[in-house]
Chain A
């Protein structure tokens, strides 16, 4: 059955650093006729602590997130929980794959984690899988490349969906990104802990972006885009970065 309502988990990075990506996601979902619930009190999925090996702290943030996503389900939705849409491959992967592991032995949060994991989708994955849409009637100008974020690509196995959505945007020229599937070097706290290695990996990605001739790098993970965008800006390159949703809204931005 096609969903009519979705829950939106915006992610801490969209909330603080790239709200326009979140607004674009909301607009696209509304245009598809979906009602969006934004569970108040959402903050962070806990991935930074998890990746850092501080699993108790990660669990605390995960419990908070599960509480936020699972409370106050209205009676009419009790048997049809809404899909959770996340505008980030890595956060979605955290919830889908690591939440059940973190609470494997927890009698309360174990079942919650499994439930939430089973209905969490990354934005592009959701659009193509659930309503089954690939053409949103979007149009935009310019030459872009698509950067497939690692957790989205290899963690969730999502690659066709964003590419399909992008290819249907009228007027847009999508060119090949050399070494597209190579990690950009963000890796969360890795960018700070191993900053020189991260910087070297970033350079390689930036060289590839510049050689592609694209004017904009499109991705589904704002975290990668911040890292790539920050590097492009440092280089003085006039290349933008955009979340996929921003190209699907037809807004003049």
Chain B
């Protein structure tokens, strides 16, 4: 593999033996959990079909559902902000924080905020941001980015986490996850109860009622959205469903797909800010609708990627992700979904390698709860990549030559005869152990068989001459 940034990251990942163990663990465990989760769901196939239908229908009417959602949020006392891009989204949050004199922001998990690099923007404005999801908290302490959509710190061993917490929090060195969790709990509790602002993501917005739904297991999402006086929720504009009934279908597949649970521990439905008579909850609720390229993707053949519910099942099923992990992708969203979403959001250049890093095995499409055809879109992106001139030289030249030869049968015959004459003497007992570049990638990892002494069509003709039943269909004169 050539020396690109992506390839270097892959190199690093492939040679990391503790990453290898961690990836084996996460992909195999989540795969089993997901399988069991769906086994216990009545009408599982129909539910998935319906979930797909709901996502497709909603997007096909996204303008009217978004308008309905925004109106419903405002009717319930919430405020809606329409952020066209990263700068706008971050700008809203930073402005709100400044207006309120907020010094500390506590954050629930939000992939959209990773996309906009919100933390950096808040910190640049002198505001302290603390991630409250345990996995996000760990990588925040480590100064890293998430490597998995559902389990952000899964690339770290418990020894590595123990070491990190010992260094950063001053707790005694331990490799016991329960003790580490307790230490994080104690530290974060203080943050929940004193933070000036809570920022969260949104799993689904419900147009009918202006409700936002957040799912989580730790309770950090509940505290982030209940304890501070102001709650700001970042929501990708595609994360919408029409009604509560539709929400119930999405929830039937989301947790099962992600972790095998029938439901996450907390499924929070938030409709507007704290009511006048209520004893607690944030007095202000702000929902930031983030476009950042989604409306553009909607108009392309990649629109189907917007059906994604961010369950992470495709990562767990992907044999490539299993070998290289999340960081190798170099993008906010890794794995199969990231291989489509990243170039879709940010352009094919410099992300052209992501759609190439796939054998198109289809495992992702098989496990996707809403049956997104990721392989189709990887192929679309490869077509786009070629038209953008990003195909490596040897293929840009080699494939058209192959096409030239393969559309001229006599030439094809000649070429394969030549190839046979050249390679057979070089083979040792029928195998070639070294091929020249750009084919050397093959022999880096396996042997290549010498071309057969007599090609199939010749053997078939011999058999036919001996009077076999098979007929060779020759072109009649025209």
| B-binding residues in A (CB < 8 A) | 7, 10, 12, 14-20, 22-23, 26, 30, 35-44, 46, 48-55, 57-58, 60-61, 63-64, 71-72, 150-151, 153-155, 181-183, 185-204, 226-227, 229-231, 233-234
Contact = CB atoms under 8 A, between A and B. Distances in A.
How large, as a class, is the contact surface on chain B?
A: 35 or more
Nearest to B328: A197
A4 B376 CA distance: 36
Contact of B447 (A72, A192, A204, A233): A233
A40 B464 CA distance: 13
Interface stretch (B181-189, B215-223, B261-269, B318-326): B318-326
From A15, A151, A191, residue with most partner B Cβ within 10 Å:
A15
B388 to A, nearest CB: 10
Given A40-B409, A51-B379, A234-B445, A200 B14 contact: yes
Contact of B470 (A26, A43, A72, A183): A26
B17 interface: no
Contact of A187 (B10, B361, B471, B475): B361
Contacts of A191: 441-442
A62 to B, nearest CB: 10
Contact of A19 (B320, B412, B456): B456
The 4 A-B pairs at the shortest CB distance, nearest first, are namely A187-B359, A195-B441, A53-B382, A199-B445
- Dominant secondary structure at the B interface: helix
From A54, A60, A190, residue with most partner B Cβ within 10 Å:
A54
From B7, B359, B400, residue with most partner A Cβ within 10 Å:
B359
Contact of B473 (A38, A57, A233): A38
A52 B382 CA distance: 6
B454 interface: yes
B382 A48 contact: no
Contact of B471 (A37, A154, A189, A203): A37
Contacts of A233: 431, 446-447
Interface string B460-477: 100100001111111110
B451 A38 contact: no
B407 A64 contact: yes
B451 A202 contact: no
Given A38-B471, A150-B359, A191-B442, A57 B447 contact: no
Contacts of A201: 319-320, 323, 359
Given A40-B475, A43-B406, A52-B395, A15 B457 contact: yes
A27 to B, nearest CB: 9
A241 B449 CA distance: 12
B393 interface: no
Given A14-B456, A60-B407, A197-B357, A155 B362 contact: yes
B361 A49 contact: no
Contact of B444 (A40, A195, A227): A195
B336 to A, nearest CB: 12
A235 B345 CA distance: 43
Contacts of B446: 199, 202, 227, 230-231, 233-234
A54 to B, nearest CB: 5
Contacts of A53: 379, 381-386, 391
A168 to B, nearest CB: 24
Contact of B449 (A7, A38, A204, A226): A226
B349 interface: no
B362 A230 contact: no
Interface string B429-445: 00101000011011011
Nearest to A71: B475
A131 B444 CA distance: 44
B292 to A, nearest CB: 26
Contacts of A15: 416, 455-457
A183 B10 contact: no
Interface in B279-327: 319-320, 322-324
B56 interface: no
A183 B361 contact: yes
Contacts of B356: 190, 193-194
B452 A154 contact: no
Contacts of B409: 40-43
B319 A185 contact: yes
Nearest to B411: A43
A64 B402 CA distance: 13
A197 B10 contact: yes
Contacts of B385: 53
22 contacts: A23-B460, A26-B470, A35-B470, A36-B470, A39-B473, A40-B473, A43-B405, A44-B412, A50-B379, A52-B382, A53-B386, A54-B386, A58-B403, A63-B407, A183-B319, A187-B358, A188-B360, A194-B10, A195-B445, A197-B323, A197-B324, A201-B323
Contact of A49 (B403, B445, B454, B459): B403
B363 interface: yes
B360 to A, nearest CB: 6
From A181, A191, A193, residue with most partner B Cβ within 10 Å:
A193
Interface string B1-23: 10000010011001000000000
A229 B291 CA distance: 49
A245 to B, nearest CB: 12
Given A12-B406, A43-B412, A55 B383 contact: yes
Nearest to A98: B379
A224 B324 CA distance: 21
Nearest to A149: B361
Given A53-B379, A183-B363, 5 more contacts: A17-B449, A22-B460, A36-B470, A36-B471, A49-B402
Contact of B365 (A40, A46, A154): A154
B421 interface: no
A16 B399 contact: no
A75 B406 CA distance: 29
A138 to B, nearest CB: 19
Nearest to A64: B407
B400 A57 contact: yes
A50 B380 CA distance: 10
B366 interface: yes
Given A38-B470, A53-B391, A197-B323, A16 B455 contact: yes
A16 B439 contact: no
Contacts of A14: 456
A72 B379 contact: no
B226 to A, nearest CB: 43
From B386, B407, B476, residue with most partner A Cβ within 10 Å:
B407
Nearest to A50: B379
Contacts of B363: 150, 154, 181-183
